[in-house]
Amino acid sequence: MEEYPEELRTPPITLTSLVGCPDLHPLISTYLLSQQPPINTLALPDLSKINVFNQKKTDPDSVIAASPPPFIVNGILKRDWLLKHRTKIPSVVAALFPSNHVFGDPSQWLQVCSDLDSIKTVIRARNIKLVVVLVHTNANDEVSEDRMIALRKRAELEAKYVVILNPNNDSEFQSSLNRLASIFSELSGVYYKEEGRRVKQRIEKKNVSAVELIVRYCFKV
Q: What is the pLDDT of residues 45-74, one digit of tens each?
A: 888 878 877 765 545 444 444 444 444 445
Report field, pTM of the whole predicted structure over 0.85: no
Whether 91 is in a domain gets the answer yes
Residue pLDDT, tens place only, 14-37? 899 999 999 999 999 999 999 988
| pLDDT score recorded for residue 182 | 96
Tally of domains in the chain: 1
Whether 160 is in a domain gets the answer yes
Q: 156: domain CATH number? A: 3.40.50.10140
Asked whether 33 and 39 are in contact (CB, 8 A), the reply is yes
Whether 216 is in a domain gets the answer no
Give the mean model confidence (pLDDT) for residues 114-120. Answer: 95
Give the burial string for 8-41 (b: 16+ CB within 10 Å, else e).
eeeeeebbbbbbbbeebbeebbebbeeeeeebeb
| pLDDT score recorded for residue 13 | 79
Asked whether 190 and 168 are in contact (CB, 8 A), the reply is no
| pLDDT score recorded for residue 90 | 92
Residue pLDDT, tens place only, 169-214? 899 999 999 999 999 999 999 998 888 887 776 666 666 555 555 5
Whether 142 is in a domain gets the answer yes
What is the signed CA dihedral for 15, 19, 23, 27, rounded to 10 degrees?
A: -20
Q: How large a percentage of the chain has pLDDT more than 90?
A: 50
Asked whether 91 and 187 are in contact (CB, 8 A), the reply is yes
DSSP letters for 104-161: S-HHHHHHHHHHHHHHHHHHHTTT-EEEEEEEP-STT----HHHHHHHHHHHT--GGG
Whether 49 is in a domain gets the answer yes
Whether 146 is in a domain gets the answer yes
Whether 47 is in a domain gets the answer yes
C-alpha of 2 from chain center = 30
Residue 220: other Cβ atoms inside 10 A: 20
Structural domain containing residue 127: 6-58+80-204
